[in-house]
Amino acid sequence: AEKVTSLGKDWHRPCLRCEKCNKTLTSGGHAEHDGKPYCNHPCYAALFGPKGGCLWRGRGGTEGARGS
């Protein structure tokens, strides 16, 4: 199996997955919280990102601007 290194550990490529949605991640292409990998959007943003006006909170609306 192919090995990838992320979060200071070696992983089998298919084992590096988002803790919330189980999506397969790429080394360096994801976020981390408490040593666990998360996809950047929507999981990390929804769980740990700024609150209020965020487009990634599951509303699907256009309130607020990206990055605000």
Tracing tokens 């590096």 back to the chain, one arrives at: 16
Contact assessment for residue 43 and residue 20, using Cβ atoms and an 8 Å cutoff? yes
Structural domain of residue 27, as residue ranges? 4-48
pLDDT-derived band at 63 (thresholds 50, 70, 90) equals: very low
Q: Within a domain: residue 64? A: no
C-alpha to C-alpha distance for 26 and 41, rounded to whole angstroms: 14
Q: pLDDT tens, 5-51?
A: 999 999 999 999 999 999 999 888 899 999 999 999 899 999 998 87
Q: Tell me if 18 sits within 8 A of 43, measured CB to CB.
A: yes
Q: Is residue 13 part of a domain?
A: yes
Q: Is residue 8 part of a domain?
A: yes
DSSP-derived 3-state class of residue 41: helix
Residue 28 lies in a domain: yes
What is the pTM assigned to this prediction? 0.68
CATH number at residue 20: 2.10.110.10
Question: Is 29 inside a domain boundary?
Answer: yes
Total domains in the fold of the chain = 1
Query: Between the CA of residue 12 and those of 7, 28, 63, what are the distances in Å?
Result: 13, 14, 40
